[in-house]
Structure 1
């Protein structure tokens, strides 16, 4: 076994390798350390419960046995005779020669008709089954490269006997030699793990199979990383000191890691003061008091008004629940990259105060995380404002390892991907198993995403992972769907779950709904928070009257917000306002700005309109839906397109948000003007395309003359999503019914599409065989995000402008084309991304768009391929006037209006 190779290399002309024996020992040692030092008490308990007979000693031993056998399939002629795929190498022949000297004769002349038919991971699974090891354990070995088998019969060993034994004749010496080597690996694994025979191995249920799969993959990856476990020179005659090497290897990997151990606390007021610098509000205190009484935390849904402090309450709840469940981390998910970036400093500040003896690293996980300035400094250990640097482990920065870190803040996609059939999914499940999961703005997810969210909740419940969901406005149907998904994961039956719902509390608000074990409870007895009460007059507005009202607002030094449903409408309104008033009095914000420009605009907006900001005297803020998501800004008056009631209320949450703001006398009363409220149900085309006519019609019907917050929030949302409007005349009613039919059909279509790649229900599985069957072809994180969001692939580019014969940023005159070798310059360039309009990303045109841009990038930006920040990115260089032509389209960009698109006909606009 010492002559079998596990890994080999010939880089820099030096032949290197590591034996199969040493690699299995390395992986074993890492697995032991992961069990003892990386897993938290809650994770170990999950695995222990999955083992039968159940004991910690047996669970640990089972992991060690799996680590010691995971590469069993490499002890085969098909693998040992395998050379480098793309080129011959001296080390290939040297290793075969060594084996031939050990008695594996004629290996260099071996010809296999289908040498790659059985991957070594599957070969390992078959060999374990052949030796009498149960399918539950064999599947873990077979899936250690990320995908458990769909169906493998032990008879595969007969179909490809030469792949396993070199010769098909069972009585031949060489056949027996290979078989004996394979048996020795099993014998050594049993001895190392403390089992006396195969019969002593326990059985493992699906929960344990997934988590142990994740641990075996993790241990294998660490043991295969040459930074921690380097290969040996092939001609090194001295045997390495294996124990020292393994100890040092793991210590190097584990450096810069601290484990959080949440502790129970007594005084809630003191805790809020120490964490946030203020005492808890009454609702926060009541919520956290209820959570303190939960014996077996499960799912918790907190519905409360905007600005009530749900984020802080949920972080304290995380501490409470972690102390009960022994979780050692947090996942905090939000709808967008922008909202994730916005919450990151707040969660980091909370983490900084968790433990006076340890600092914890908050990982930001989304596609643009590396371009977040604060995260970039924190992740590279740069001292922040004299507070000292946070130790970080760069191993967790990988695309598939980031979710294994303890504290992760990111887009909700990271959670939804738990439900998507995707290679190495066990790693995501393992990573989430050490955390308390918090998801904010749950109302922001459509029927398609909710299918993935419900499936993810079902699996989280199956493991016993606690979840906190936050929302200001949540329809009853959605709330019950999410509760039912979690409780079914706990083993509750549909009829039981339905009987737990409380119709009498469906419209209670604020509302805390939570499970304790397999029981569901409601808490609605929150003390009135009159400090946050407000009444908003709701007035329908003809669009042609908008400019006059905005002019009046500016004249009285008020701050007006105009929120519309499409980027195009936002740009049109901004153009009109700038022409009529002044560009200094208008700020436009939407998703079609270069990322760096959008960040500047958001910061500018916050600096003026957040609590304590430098408030301008007269301002018009125009934006699309980005304004309704987590921006803490305060408006004197609000003009908004008609939108579904829950989103409309989110927008109203920016109106008179801060009680202490001094307003012009005319705007002491909160007024929301609603545009597009067409009584004939003929809605603005863009709004109709985004939201559909049914929800717009429902909202129009139930739109009140005056909105009392918070007491009207839940009743209005529940009516819009629950009770079909009854218009007085037959024509409108029939039109509305047709819209409802289209709405239901579209919702059902979304659910059906989501079903294609959703994981199955855990209770219906006996093993992980076929767990990822029929998974989509996903080769990037971005494609995974697109899959769980039901979105077409979007084309993202880096947008630059011609400067002095080269190129640079729109906001400056410097030519950066000769500075790509400077990492800082390349990183700054990489921040200037923008997503192209949908018209260039339709399925029938996206390939041409990408092909044209790839060609442009190779011809005009060839040195980007040498930069780690820019390699593989697509680039556009706009001319001095901000124009760029792309086959039949002209793109235009400026920092005031953002990106616009014009179609050309026969080369003309």
Structure 2
């Protein structure tokens, strides 16, 4: 190491006591490790698109020509090497170990004393915690003349930059924390000052810079990427399995270069895939999906292939045209065009994510085979650890294709496990929350941005996200625009205002002014592809006209429901009833079971234990999905879960009134496939319940959707819906400025509902602003556009679940594991064997952990979440204390329902069974 001052080598970065032996890592060894890792990640782990983004986001202060790749790489090296400069201070060097023997601390202090840091063994600092080493590093760099772009990256490498520049400048008040003395003329002050400057100059030189003026200035979005890169490099270099500590009696690692390569060989599992070109459309679809592309898919391929400067693409088309395969094909094209090296596929729910994971895996298997490039694939949501497909990829020995040949091209890289690292993985399928969290102020947010900036993003069913979630969705899209990340949004039905908002968000992120956005006239076209090519907004509307499916719409009074069902199913058939609340599904389910028999009626909603719901959805698809074994007569009653990605087919449908885009989603499950139907159900008919001339709608429906869009949907509801022709027209009517023909009484109610809608949206927007990230700042200006304040007032959610609740505006609820009393022990609701004595077995603990369910918020409302959790914690200590010893169950809350499936919580009697799910019951047993 070319370090002039020998005392530098006495500074420590890490220390550990293991099995009675003492280990340490010199600060210079850790800085060199991190510098080398950071350079390697820049050159070999970042995608081509990220390296180009970094290059374009720098300004070379000594050269007016374009910034070179080498300069961008050298900057990564410098930031990695200088990130822990703040550890070269008395405030850090005198820190005691948390779990180590005091003898280890004494050994290292004596080493410092012998190196010339006199009296440090007896030093007592008044406020050492005021100078955390991350802020200390930023402070020292400011003294050396570095600007706030680089300074704020170093200051934020522990996950959160400072909130004010004064937080750095105020370090002047803690001189002893930096120099051991307040006297700048003292010998010890001079020694600390020389050591710190010596480290800085060594890192500068080793990174390829002659002096401070050679360092480039950095745009704010690119600062975020470098911040994420430094954090990632630091975490890898800090992992003692890759970069081990050395014995306390050794002065430095034996060979720093061998150490680096040994560490990286241990860490690297794959390299980013780089696609140079794509097969032509027929070959691509046959290779990836096993069939020739449909006309819609061909148009999508051709449209995306024609884009010169990709940005955002919005695909809108009716169900059944293969939007998923079209989106994956488009993603492959965009990877080739932009140099992106990964994919994120986001969906509304865990169930839809689980279903998509397998489809993406098959696509990725074909892709990796073509490019001979093994890749890691990850499922990312709260219950991903329970997914059999992902667990199969964790064990390559069990990964066997249909032809029985082993295939290890797609696997799970365990280093990327955990909420903070998951999105760094190259290929990720998960709930949309993973993307929404890109706009939530949280510690280590830069890691999430680093991960997303190397991918193509697909977000499915974007119509399913409400006004609150849209605030986070649009902000996340803005940041993708700033990074030049391709985004594909997929929907069957999308209101024009949402389409426009998404396009505007992306272009604003890319620093395009509103006055330069010219939207093409495409409102009445369907299917529709809207996309950007550079600053230009374009639309593809040239699709062959398809035959319409005409659906008759009839309004239905609820008091005639049973009679209508009886008439409809006189000759058999499958009837779907979609309602707006769980309670309503349970009530109608009870009424229908009483009238038509238990075996005829199935109920599906979100208040089933997770394993029951998955089984019910699977059985439903097997029964009334494509090529399903259809029953002679069946009534399926469900909530919104039916309208989200379940490939099922009803002969006739009854639905609660809901906003038009969602109503059309529900209609997509009516006569979905070409099959033989009962004679009186050969023509598709949709019955709509809940319409009301006075606009006095069901309270639950209003709570979920608001009165305004229910009114507009009712008023615009035709007698016949032609799909796909009428879809854009109906959406435009409901969400546009179409004037309703109302009498004076109705107009009063309607005006009040509009005011309430506008007020609610503003409240949601204001609430979202509390923890939502601000817009990316374009332009290179280190004094103004830096990471200081970037995460001011962060969301302090301790878990991913709590963070998800923040971006989804979910009412606080409690998730518990539900088991049922049997004898002296308990079993799952799907079992009949006492498993209480077998939880030490991993497979039993895992089975129990998958039986989760949410307690309805009305049960916790009166006592409050905190008090309810406190009560449940005491209950668990008394009845389920042994769970805390098992990795699958540790930290979870459970409840044991009695033999009748009942449990009393907050003086409310809850009952669970596989028929109705979880509900509150009265003394007479009724809902």
TM interval, shorter chain, is: over 0.9
Would the aligned equivalents of 1:47 and 1:207 in 2 still touch at CA under 8 Å? no
- 1:270-285 equivalences in 2 (<5 Å): 270-285=283-298
Residue 238 (structure 1) shift: 7.9
- 1:362-761 equivalences in 2 (<5 Å): 362-381=377-396, 382-385=398-401, 386=404, 387-389=406-408, 390-497=410-517, 500-502=518-520, 504-530=521-547, 533-659=548-674, 661-723=675-737, 725-761=739-775
Residue 731 (structure 1) shift: 0.8
2:876 aligns to what SS in structure 1?
Answer: helix
Deviations 1:288-318 (A, max 9, x none): 1111111000011111112221111010000
Would the aligned equivalents of 1:852 and 1:886 in 2 still touch at CA under 8 Å? no
Supply the distance in 2 between the matched residues of 1:358 and 1:777 (Cα, whole angstroms): 39
Residue 862 (structure 1) shift: 1.0
Would the aligned equivalents of 1:889 and 1:904 in 2 still touch at CA under 8 Å? no
Supply the distance in 1 between the matched residues of 2:122 and 2:242 (Cα, whole angstroms): 36
- 1:278-357 equivalences in 2 (<5 Å): 278-356=291-369, 357=372
Supply the distance in 2 between the matched residues of 1:737 and 1:520 (Cα, whole angstroms): 35
- 1:820-899 equivalences in 2 (<5 Å): 820-842=839-861, 845-899=864-918
Deviations 1:672-724 (A, max 9, x none): 01011112211111111111111111111000100000011111011111235
Deviations 1:161-182 (A, max 9, x none): 0000001111111111111110
Would the aligned equivalents of 2:348 and 2:460 in 1 still touch at CA under 8 Å? yes
Supply the distance in 2 between the matched residues of 1:856 and 1:452 (Cα, whole angstroms): 37
Q: Provide the aligned C-alpha RMSD in A.
A: 1.8
Residue 384 (structure 1) shift: 4.1
1:26 lines up with 2:33 in the alignment: yes
Would the aligned equivalents of 2:221 and 2:777 in 1 still touch at CA under 8 Å? no
1:762 aligns to what SS in structure 2?
Answer: coil
My pick for the range that moved more, 896-905 or 677-686, is 896-905
- 1:776-791 equivalences in 2 (<5 Å): 776-791=795-810
1:507 aligns to what SS in structure 2?
Answer: coil
TM-score normalised by L of structure 2: 0.95
Q: Tell me the residue number matched to 2:157.
A: 144
Deviations 1:223-259 (A, max 9, x none): 111221122222347853322222111111112x242
Label 1:696 to 1:286 Cα distance change in 2 as closer, same or farther (>3 A).
same
Label 1:729 to 1:238 Cα distance change in 2 as closer, same or farther (>3 A).
closer
Would the aligned equivalents of 2:44 and 2:271 in 1 still touch at CA under 8 Å? no
2:771 aligns to what SS in structure 1?
Answer: coil
Would the aligned equivalents of 2:282 and 2:293 in 1 still touch at CA under 8 Å? yes
Q: Tell me the residue number matched to 2:214.
A: 200
Would the aligned equivalents of 1:3 and 1:19 in 2 still touch at CA under 8 Å? yes
2:136 aligns to what SS in structure 1?
Answer: helix
1:355 aligns to what SS in structure 2?
Answer: helix
Would the aligned equivalents of 2:278 and 2:336 in 1 still touch at CA under 8 Å? no
Supply the distance in 1 between the matched residues of 2:115 and 2:917 (Cα, whole angstroms): 70
Supply the distance in 1 between the matched residues of 2:514 and 2:812 (Cα, whole angstroms): 37
Q: Tell me the residue number matched to 1:50.
A: 57
Would the aligned equivalents of 1:792 and 1:843 in 2 still touch at CA under 8 Å? no
Supply the distance in 2 between the matched residues of 1:728 and 1:785 (Cα, whole angstroms): 41
Would the aligned equivalents of 1:282 and 1:529 in 2 still touch at CA under 8 Å? no
Supply the distance in 2 between the matched residues of 1:480 and 1:604 (Cα, whole angstroms): 39
| Aligned pair partner of 1:115 in 120, 125, 128 | 128
My pick for the range that moved more, 226-235 or 741-750, is 226-235
Q: Tell me the residue number matched to 2:4.
A: none
How many residues are treated as equivalent by the alignment? 901
My pick for the range that moved more, 676-685 or 85-94, is 85-94
Residue 261 (structure 1) shift: 2.0
Deviations 1:273-297 (A, max 9, x none): 1111111111111121111111000
My pick for the range that moved more, 552-561 or 802-811, is 552-561
Would the aligned equivalents of 2:16 and 2:100 in 1 still touch at CA under 8 Å? no
Residue 576 (structure 1) shift: 1.5
Unmatched tracts of structure 1, length 5 or more:
none
My pick for the range that moved more, 360-369 or 212-221, is 360-369
Would the aligned equivalents of 1:786 and 1:792 in 2 still touch at CA under 8 Å? yes
Label 1:239 to 1:643 Cα distance change in 2 as closer, same or farther (>3 A).
closer
Deviations 1:357-394 (A, max 9, x none): 23433211111111122122223433244453443321
Would the aligned equivalents of 1:585 and 1:620 in 2 still touch at CA under 8 Å? yes
| Aligned pair partner of 1:13 in 11, 20, 32 | 20
| Aligned pair partner of 2:79 in 66, 77, 87 | 66
Residue 841 (structure 1) shift: 4.1
Supply the distance in 2 between the matched residues of 1:511 and 1:812 (Cα, whole angstroms): 49
Residue 342 (structure 1) shift: 1.7
Q: Tell me the residue number matched to 2:5.
A: none
Residue 770 (structure 1) shift: 0.8
Would the aligned equivalents of 1:40 and 1:326 in 2 still touch at CA under 8 Å? yes
Residue 551 (structure 1) shift: 2.6
Deviations 1:463-504 (A, max 9, x none): 11111111111111111111111111111112222xx023x3
2:53 aligns to what SS in structure 1?
Answer: helix
1:162 lines up with 2:179 in the alignment: no
Label 1:238 to 1:139 Cα distance change in 2 as closer, same or farther (>3 A).
closer
Supply the distance in 2 between the matched residues of 1:591 and 1:803 (Cα, whole angstroms): 26
2:14 aligns to what SS in structure 1?
Answer: strand
- 1:157-196 equivalences in 2 (<5 Å): 157-196=171-210
Supply the distance in 1 between the matched residues of 2:169 and 2:587 (Cα, whole angstroms): 68
2:146 aligns to what SS in structure 1?
Answer: coil
Residue 87 (structure 1) shift: 7.3
